[in-house]
Structure formats: structure tokens, C-alpha cells
Amino acid sequence: MENKCGCWSALRRTASCKPSLESRTTNSVHDAAIETRYLNASNREMRAPNDPQNSSDLNPNQLLEFSFHELKSATGNFRPDSILGEGGFGFVFKGWIHENGTAPAKPGAGITVAVKSLKPDGLQGHREWVAEVDFLGQLHHPNLVKLIGYCIEDDQRLLVYEFMTRGSLENHLFRRTIPLPWSIRIKIATGAAKGLAFLHEGTEPIIYRDFKTSNILLDTEYNAKLSDFGLAKAGPQGDKTHVSTRVVGTYGYAAPEYVMTGHLTSKSDVYSFGVVLLEILTGRRSMDKKRPSGEQNLVMWARPYLADKRKVYQLVDPRLELNYSVKGVQKVAQIAYNCLSRDSKARPSMDEVVKALSPLHDLNDFAVLSYHARLSQQGRRKNKQEGTQNITLSQSKWFNESPRSVGKHHCK
């Protein structure tokens, strides 16, 4: 990774001038943290005390150290109306700090930040907090969220990130009423793929392990940035093919071979990327208990459609109507199919995924255009036959058909 950001290996080896965060951990939290197994609602598990420490010595040199009081002021006393979201770790608040240093600023002044605070009972959280500071404090890339600093004071554990204006991809795909346009979906998929490729392709590869839509954050221009490195793990060393671990992650995203054997490789992340790509394509959640039984597991439901070029358009998020690239959908389906291969070795690398996704930005063959073209052709023929004029689009059979049924026509 040195070659890409110039900091990873160097920082790993540099001794911190501050005492290590681990050594400053209070006993009570540490005792809590040595619980051997803890699964929270989002299906995460904390590392057992005897697990080898996978990460380097913590090095917060480039990070700001905030006091609890500063962050309390920065978030207006952790006001409920400044809550941006809640995850397994705890609440995330919006706050403001001065441009230089850790001093709190008035709302709207200085820099806007997101402050994540560990739940008081977040037993799994301390280890994840350490991993987050350890990994994200040292990794810098346009597709990784920037960690600005942290707070460790008594039992309080907080993290301060750059504020991502548009929140998470999960919000945009599943909660907002306005659907994300096709071109933005491609931009987000490519950005997130670049983030994963950066982690995988460095001299000291990292496996992210928690790739999902809620961990993909978006800035004003819909640039995607990966957040949450609490479950990240250093990749296999030397001639090792995999890392053996306990199974952690989130249901619906984890690769089947990893769930069954605990053998972790970068191809586990590639599988999770395939799941997210499918969510982007379909607008459906990876697991959705509200759907009929055969449709609850997205991958199981979608696989037969992905494999059949004539059926692939039936997967497209119906909220897009005909506003998607015809070739783009085929290509995205093919990439998702490859990433979701049951044989992990057959999955592409994330570099290959980035290369396959990048050209899709330039495709302008929108389904709606081809239908307008067919429509006007049809209209012309009809006019000729019937001598009628001015057939409007809304009177057309093509226009009134649902995107799902018309989608099939693309593959003829």
C-alpha cells in the first residue's frame, strides 16, 4: 500500500509518541472486552482475547485526540435532533469543530463532522473501536471515509469522521422516495469497488469483512467512501491462502465458504460486493423478510435471472422505469454473477471489477430512448396504415407497458 498512499507501512512501523490506546484502556472496559463471544443485533462478534492481534500498534499520530467535553459541546450535548443514524456500535451525531484543532464550533461554523459514540453496554465495541482507529487512522484514499480523530476518556469511546452529506447508500436505495438515477448507481458502485481494490491490492492487503450498503457513505457529489473498519483484518501473509477466523459480518452479505469454514480471503469481500451490486441493480435488500418466501434471500432469488440474458431486465429496480442503460444492465448483471460465484477462486479481483465497471459510465443506450425510437417507428407505420396523425406517447401500448414486461424485449 506504500506505493499508493505512501503511509501505510511507514506508519505501521513508526512508534507512536503517545501511549498506545490499548494500554490506556480502563480495566472495566478491558474486562468487558474479554468476553469470549458477543453477537449484537447486527450480527457482529467481538474478537476473543486469545485471538492473535492482527493489527499493528495503534498509531494515532495523524489523528486528533478530543476530550469528551469537546465532543459533547460540538454535538450540542448529543442532541437527539442531531442524530444521523444508529448502528451496532451506537449513535452517530452531527457536530461542528474549529478548522484547526479539537475545539468545538457553533452549529454551521467551522468543519462539520460525524461523531460516533460507543453505547455504554457495547461490549464488542471497544475492540472494533481500536480496529477502526488502527486501520482508518493510517489508510488514506478518496474512497475511504476520513477519520479525523477519537476520544478515549474513562469508559467513553468516540470516533470523529468527516461528515458525509448524503449519508449511506442504504438510505438512498431503501428509504428515500426519490430513486437513485442509473448513472449515480454506477458511480457509487465504481467508487466502492475502488475502495475495496485499494484495500486488497496493497503490499499489506486488508480484508474489509463488512461490505454492505450502510457502510458505503456518500458525499455531495455521490462519491462513495467505505466506513467502519471495526471488522477489518490483515490478509494472509506469505504463502498462506487464507486467514482462519471466527465468522463475523452481516447476514445476507457474507460469502458461503467463509460462513461454513471461517476461511477468510479477499474473495469473501468480492462476494459481498456482488451482493451490494445486486442491491444497487434491483433496489431490493439482501435479506427481506417481508417478501414472499422464495424472494427473501436476494442472491437465491436473483441467480437464475442473472444467468439468463433474456431474463436479466426483470431484475432492474422498477423505480427506474426505463431510465437505465440496456448494455449497462447486462454488464452489471454479469459482474454480479461472477462476484457471486460459489467457487471463490472463480470470482474476479476487485481491480478487475473496477476495470469492468468504469466504461459503463459512458453508456447512453437508455432503455427509454430505444423505446421512444421503436415507438416513433411504430407510430410512423401506424400513421401510414391508418392515415392518422399525432399519436401521443401516452396513447402508446409500449409506453404504458410495465418496465418489467417491456424489459424482455431488449434481448430479442
Ligand X SMILES: Nc1ncnc2c1ncn2[C@@H]1O[C@H](COP(=O)(O)OP(=O)(O)OP(=O)(O)O)[C@@H](O)[C@H]1O
**Binding site listing for ATP:** 116
What the block records as the C-alpha cell of 202 is 496493497
Closer to Mg ion by Cβ: residue 268 or 325: 268
Question: Which residue among the candidates 210, 228, 269, 317 is catalytic per the annotation?
Answer: 210
Q: Which stretch binds Mg ion (CB under 5 A): 14-22, 30-38, 228-236, 366-374?
A: 228-236
- When CB distances are held under 5 to 8 angstroms depending on the partner's kind, the choice from Mg ion, ligand X, none that residue 84 binds is ligand X
Please identify which residue in the block is written with the cell numbers 407505420.
381
Question: Nearest approach, Cβ of 87 to ligand X (angstroms)?
Answer: 2
User: Mask 75-94, x = binds Mg ion (CB under 5 A)?
Assistant: ------------x-------
Question: Nearest approach, Cβ of 85 to Mg ion (angstroms)?
Answer: 8
Bind-site residues: 116
Chain position whose Cβ is nearest to ligand X: 87
Distance of alpha carbon 182 from alpha carbon 317, whole angstroms: 10
- When CB distances are held under 5 to 8 angstroms depending on the partner's kind, the choice from ligand X, Mg ion, none that residue 25 binds is none
What count of residues does the chain have?
412
Q: 160 in helix, strand or coil?
A: strand
**Ramachandran sector of residue 348 (left: φ over 0; alpha: ψ -120 to 50; beta: rest):** beta
Question: Nearest approach, Cβ of 230 to ligand X (angstroms)?
Answer: 8
- Residue by residue, DSSP assigns 162-179 as E--TT-BHHIIIII-SSP
Beta bridge partners of 139: none
Please name the residues in contact with 326: beta carbons below 8 A apart, sequence gap of 6 or more.
Answer: 365, 366, 367, 370, 410
Distance of alpha carbon 41 from alpha carbon 43, whole angstroms: 5
What the block records as the C-alpha cell of 412 is 430479442
Residue 215 engages Mg ion in binding (rule: CB under 5 A): yes
Closer to Mg ion by Cβ: residue 200 or 212: 212
Query: Where along the sequence are the contacts to ligand X (CB under 6 A)?
Result: 42, 84-89, 92, 114, 116, 145, 161, 163-164, 167-168, 170-171, 214-215, 217, 227-228
Q: What are the backbone dihedrals phi and psi of residue 54, each rounded to the nearest 5 degrees, phi first?
A: -85, -25
Q: Which stretch binds Mg ion (CB under 5 A): 49-57, 215-223, 333-341, 357-365?
A: 215-223
Residue 269 engages Mg ion in binding (rule: CB under 5 A): no
In the residue annotation, 239 being an active-site residue is answered as no
Closer to Mg ion by Cβ: residue 171 or 378: 171
Question: Nearest approach, Cβ of 161 to ligand X (angstroms)?
Answer: 4
**Ramachandran sector of residue 83 (left: φ over 0; alpha: ψ -120 to 50; beta: rest):** beta
Closer to Mg ion by Cβ: residue 212 or 410: 212
Q: Is the Cβ–Cβ distance between 214 and 250 less than 8 Å?
A: no
- When CB distances are held under 5 to 8 angstroms depending on the partner's kind, the choice from ligand X, Mg ion, none that residue 128 binds is none
Closer to ligand X by Cβ: residue 116 or 200: 116
**Neighbouring C-beta atoms of residue 374, cutoff 10 Å:** 14
Residue 228 engages Mg ion in binding (rule: CB under 5 A): yes
- When CB distances are held under 5 to 8 angstroms depending on the partner's kind, the choice from ligand X, Mg ion, none that residue 314 binds is none
Residue 117 engages Mg ion in binding (rule: CB under 5 A): no
Beta bridge partners of 366: 325
Q: Is the Cβ–Cβ distance between 281 and 314 less than 8 Å?
A: no
Closer to ligand X by Cβ: residue 169 or 315: 169
| DSSP assigned state of 325 | B
- When CB distances are held under 5 to 8 angstroms depending on the partner's kind, the choice from Mg ion, ligand X, none that residue 93 binds is none
Nearest to 101 by CA among 72, 70, 77: 70
**Neighbouring C-beta atoms of residue 89, cutoff 10 Å:** 23
Q: Looking only at residues 296 through 315 of this chain, which bind Mg ion when binding is defined by CB under 5 A? A: none
Active-site residue list: 210
Name the site residues for Mg ion (rule: CB under 5 A).
87, 215, 228
